Structure formats: C-alpha cells, structure tokens
A and B are shown apart, each in its own frame.
Chain A
Amino acid sequence: MHPAPSIILFTVLSGFGFGLISITGLLQFFNQISIFDLITFSILGIIFSTVGLVSSFFHLANKKNAIKSMSQWQTSWLSREAISSIFCLLLVSANIAWVFLQNMYINEVGIVLFFLALFTIFTTSMIYAQLKTVPSWNNIFTPAIFIFAALSGGAILLTSYASLVTLLVFGTLQILFWYTADRGFKDKETSVGTALGFDANEEIRPFDAAHTNQNYLLNEMVYKVGRKHSIKLRYISFFTAFVFPMSLILVFPGEFSISILAILFHFVGVYFSRWLFFAEAKHSVSFYYE
C-alpha cells in the first residue's frame, strides 16, 4: 500500500495526542497528577491529535464533504473514528476549562477520558484492521500496536518506570505484528488463480499490461518501492522506538529533559514502524498485476 505521508502523520500524531489524553485521564482518576501538569498535557494532547486530524483532512480528494464523514457510524469505522475523536476533544476541553476555573479536578472524568481516548485510537486502527483485502493488517496485532504505541508516548512523558512496561509490551506486540504480517497471503487461499476464478494453484502469467501506464490502483495499492530495505528499516524502527527510550529511562529515571529525548527517539521509531506498516502491506488487487 502507498505510504502517504499525510496518513502516516495522521495515525502517528493523533495516536500520540490521544495517548497523552488517555494517560492524563488515568492519572487524574488515581489522583496522581498536579493541576498544572493536567492542563499542560491535556493541551499538548489536543494539539497533537488536532494536527493529526488536520493532516488526515489533507489526504481527502474532495475536502468539502469531510463533515459528512460523521454520518455512517453504524457500519463505518472511519465514521466512528471521526465522531469519537470529536467527542474526546470536546470532553478534554471541557475538563481543562473546569480544572482551570475550579482549581480542582473530578477524578471520574479522568477514567471516562481514558476509555474514550483509547476507543478513539482503537477506531483508527480498525480502519486498517477491518480490511480483508490486506491480510497483514487484518489481524488482532494491528489494534494492539496502535494502542500501545499511543500509550507508550503518553507514558514516557507522564510517568517514569510505568513507561518501561508500556514500551516493553509495545515492543513485544510490534515483533508479533511483523511476524504475522509477514505471513501475508501465505495462509490465505487468494492467488492469481482465485483472482481470475480458477483453482488457487492454477499457473497463470500475464503477458501484456492492461494499460500502458501507471494508474490509481498501481499507485495506491500495488506500491512496492522501499520493500527491499524493509529489514534494515525494521531494525532502525525497533532501536529508536524501544531500545533507546528504554535505556534512557533506565539510566536517568524521572528526569523530564531525558523524557523529552526519549520521546523524540520513540517518535522517529513509531514513524518508521508506521511507514513500514503501509509500504510492506500487500493488497489482493496486486494479484491481477503479477
């Protein structure tokens, strides 16, 4: 699949933003956060998730109809994502206003924010995980890595040792994701044979192109550039997303300036991981072209 920068930025930034909101909410529920921190990190969460959502808006080819994307929540994960993120942003803004005016916070609002932000990240991941046409996405580890990538980002900034746990879980899930994603179509029946109505192992070769040039399908879904470097990129992603941040946190626990450095590494790692998520994914339409 085509790794469009607007979509990668959308999933990474909005994930990070909602991760911050959800960890802040959890700390609020357990009374573990100062009013200053609560307001600061909630605002940061709003900024990142909004920048992510705006970035996804630039991916649309017909932006004037974007508002209609809130209408089909009964069937569409993308619609649920739009609604849930708006609700979450409204609630977190109301929470900030309340805390600012009353100089105190209501613990229960925190737990609602925690689950609402988690649900929003889940809906984002389901946009991809629901697609049977892309088997490397169509598994449980897609929501899992989206959620734990987001939670890790929030935890690095807001907690000390707790972030080691989320990072460790994220790292494990990431490896499991790559392992299952590599199975791709291998466990599926789909082949050029079934794509054309024959048996799965029928030997069929294309001898002429259906069109003389690129088209939307090839650009969007039969994207192959960069796959040859994917193993190197996985190492880069793994070290910057997990190993460096975890070592930094272990060596300098509780130092906020180190957390900033750790989050920068983590962010680059998650970006690479998300780039690979798209670039390595194979769509069933590519069988018509091979």
Chain B
Amino acid sequence: MTKLPKCDEKKLGLLIDLDTCVGCHGCVVSCKEWNSSGSDKQLSDINSHRRDPVGTFLNRVHSYERENCNTNETEPFYFPRSCLHCEDAPCVTVCPTGASYKREEDGIVLVNEDDCMGCGLCAWACPYGARELDLVSGVMKKCTLCVDRIYNEELPPEDRVPVCVKSCPTGARAFGDFNDPNSDVSKKVKERGGVDLMPEMQTKPVNKYLLPRIKSKNSAVSSGSGVEEETNAKGLLGWVDRALSKL
C-alpha cells in the first residue's frame, strides 16, 4: 500500500500565486473550519481560549520580505504552505502501517486514520512540514485537497473545489489537473513559470508556486496626489464638483 502508484491519468493539485496573495490567512481559517465540521475527524486545539493555544492546521501562511533589486526597497510577500501531493512522496514510503497512501486515480496523498499509529515518521520525512500530528486524536493530519468536496455531488458544481481555493478573496489559489496541458493551472504554470519548492529533495511536488514578480521602478505607484486632478468627474459627483467650484 505504501508503494507509490504511477499517476498517469490525473495529477490534482494547487497553483499558488505569491504575487497575488495578501497574507489574510483566509485559507487557513476556512481550511480549519471545513476540516473540523461535519465529521468526527477534527483538527484539534488545546487551550484555544487560554494562554499558549496550540492546534493542528493543514495550511499555514508565512510572511517574508526581500530586497527589490530595481527599487532598493524591501517588499513583503506571503507564502501559504501546505501538502504539495508529491509524485515521489517520501511520507508515504516510510509509513510502517500502510496508513499513508497516494491515490492512483488522482494523485492525492491521504492518511487512513484508522491505520495510523502516530509514530510521526512521515512528518520527519516530509521536507515541507506539511504533516502535523494531532495531539488529541493521536493520528497524523494533512491536507486532503478537500477530497470530500471536489467529488461531492451534494454540493453545487461551482463549490466542488478545495475550500482554500473557494475562500481566497484575491484568487491567489487555483485548483486543477497538472497532468492535463490544457487545464487552466497548466497554462498558467507555462505562461508565468511555475516553480517547485525544494526541487533538490527530489519529491516532484504536484503543487506549483508562482513567484512574486519584481516590480520595476516605473510600476511603483506615483506618490503625487491624484485627488486634485480629478476634475472631469461625471454624473452626480461631477455635478457636485462643478456646483461647488462655482461658489
């Protein structure tokens, strides 16, 4: 079971655009909400309303900054980190109980909680910190790519995407089949140069990231006041403007 299948048909995954992400943590909250409701499989919290709360999350958003070589200014960017559903997933092969597995039909990496003994070796084998041991239930938790949404016929078709994609207010997250060259995610990866995280670890991640574009000097927002130049306003505001100007 922990032998990795060849996923020739579909490679479902996420495309995350770091140029667009504003670091609102909306995906973190909605992920926690979806994966903690409607089933007995919770993502637990300890001391959630007291000092030193700790909890299990399948998605974390980090905040970084780097120098822009064009403007010499420091630019922030935000980095959502979750399971990349690797083709050569080391977390699957190390599992001694067979709880970790990769689905042949779509490449999603999952944990069968009924088999997991909570040894934590898969979390050690993952370079990205995508797996967290739930300290209450004692089993390993990880992103399921919302497998209970994407095939769920109870949901309207437009909702059959991972909840982090659905909830992202900026559209920084996209979901699709990376094996299909005509899918939106594949096209975007080609157009904008999607990258792998830690390619040297040879995990062949399915999820891809689009890096923040380096802003040129000209694209910086002009610091001059734009308000006074707005003399050609139309409609009601234009009338008010003109009327006030005449006074």
In the complex, what's the smallest C-beta–C-beta distance from A52 to chain B, in angstroms? 15
Contact A197 B54 (CB under 8 A): no
**Complex CA distance for A283 and B129, rounded to whole angstroms:** 9
**Contacting residues, chain B, for A106 (C-beta < 8 A):** none
1/0 per position for A182-201, CB-CB distance to B under 8 A? 00000011100011111000
CB-CB nearest 7 A-B residue pairs: A61-B118, A61-B138, A285-B129, A62-B118, A62-B138, A79-B96, A65-B117
Contact A69 B119 (CB under 8 A): yes
In the complex, what's the smallest C-beta–C-beta distance from B225 to chain A, in angstroms? 29
Nearest A residue (CB) for B91: A133
Q: Could you show 24 A-B contacts with beta carbons less than 8 Å apart? A: A60-B117, A61-B139, A65-B99, A68-B115, A69-B97, A72-B97, A75-B95, A76-B2, A131-B94, A131-B124, A131-B125, A133-B127, A197-B209, A198-B211, A205-B66, A207-B63, A209-B63, A213-B52, A213-B53, A215-B54, A215-B57, A216-B54, A216-B56, A220-B133
In the complex, what's the smallest C-beta–C-beta distance from B28 to chain A, in angstroms? 9
| A284 part of interface (Cβ distance < 8 Å) | yes
In the complex, what's the smallest C-beta–C-beta distance from A169 to chain B, in angstroms? 28
Contact B97 A207 (CB under 8 A): no
| A102 part of interface (Cβ distance < 8 Å) | no
Name the residue in A78, A197, A202, A215 with the highest tally of chain B Cβ atoms < 10 Å from its Cβ.
Answer: A197
| A176 part of interface (Cβ distance < 8 Å) | no
Contact A210 B81 (CB under 8 A): yes
**Contacting residues, chain A, for B92 (C-beta < 8 A):** 75
**Complex CA distance for A209 and B62, rounded to whole angstroms:** 6
**Complex CA distance for A154 and B209, rounded to whole angstroms:** 52
| A249 part of interface (Cβ distance < 8 Å) | no
1/0 per position for B57-87, CB-CB distance to A under 8 A? 1001111111100000000100101000000
In the complex, what's the smallest C-beta–C-beta distance from B122 to chain A, in angstroms? 10
Contact B129 A77 (CB under 8 A): no
**Complex CA distance for A210 and B128, rounded to whole angstroms:** 14
| B121 part of interface (Cβ distance < 8 Å) | yes
In the complex, what's the smallest C-beta–C-beta distance from B138 to chain A, in angstroms? 4
| B residues with CB within 8 A of A | 1-3, 18, 52-57, 60-67, 76, 79, 81, 90, 92-99, 114-121, 123-129, 132-133, 135, 137-139, 195-202, 209, 211
**Complex CA distance for A134 and B197, rounded to whole angstroms:** 16
Contact A72 B95 (CB under 8 A): yes
**Contacting residues, chain A, for B93 (C-beta < 8 A):** 75-76
Among candidates A207, A212, A216, residue contacting B64 with C-beta atoms closer than 8 Å? A207
**Contacting residues, chain A, for B202 (C-beta < 8 A):** 132
1/0 per position for A57-90, CB-CB distance to B under 8 A? 0011111111011111011111100100000000
**Contacting residues, chain A, for B63 (C-beta < 8 A):** 206-210
| A262 part of interface (Cβ distance < 8 Å) | no
Contact B95 A76 (CB under 8 A): yes
Tell me the dominant secondary structure on chain B's binding face: loop
Contact A284 B127 (CB under 8 A): yes
Nearest B residue (CB) for A64: B117
| A1 part of interface (Cβ distance < 8 Å) | yes
With A204-B65, A207-B63 as known contacts, state yes or no: A132 contacts B90, CB within 8 Å: yes
In the complex, what's the smallest C-beta–C-beta distance from A59 to chain B, in angstroms? 7
In the complex, what's the smallest C-beta–C-beta distance from B23 to chain A, in angstroms? 8
Nearest B residue (CB) for A81: B96
Contact B201 A284 (CB under 8 A): yes
**Contacting residues, chain B, for A77 (C-beta < 8 A):** 94
Among candidates B67, B195, B209, residue contacting A203 with C-beta atoms closer than 8 Å? B67
In the complex, what's the smallest C-beta–C-beta distance from B243 to chain A, in angstroms? 47
| A107 part of interface (Cβ distance < 8 Å) | no
In the complex, what's the smallest C-beta–C-beta distance from B101 to chain A, in angstroms? 10
**Contacting residues, chain B, for A210 (C-beta < 8 A):** 60-63, 81
**Complex CA distance for A216 and B44, rounded to whole angstroms:** 12
Given contacts A65-B115, A70-B96, 8 further A-B contacts (CB under 8 A): A65-B118, A79-B97, A205-B66, A216-B135, A220-B123, A284-B201, A285-B128, A288-B129
**Complex CA distance for A189 and B127, rounded to whole angstroms:** 13
**Contacting residues, chain B, for A283 (C-beta < 8 A):** 124
Nearest A residue (CB) for B56: A216
In the complex, what's the smallest C-beta–C-beta distance from A188 to chain B, in angstroms? 7
**Contacting residues, chain A, for B3 (C-beta < 8 A):** 74-75
**Complex CA distance for A72 and B97, rounded to whole angstroms:** 6
**Contacting residues, chain A, for B97 (C-beta < 8 A):** 65, 68-69, 71-72, 79
**Complex CA distance for A133 and B202, rounded to whole angstroms:** 11
**Contacting residues, chain A, for B132 (C-beta < 8 A):** 215-217
**Complex CA distance for A210 and B23, rounded to whole angstroms:** 10
| A127 part of interface (Cβ distance < 8 Å) | yes
Contact B96 A190 (CB under 8 A): no
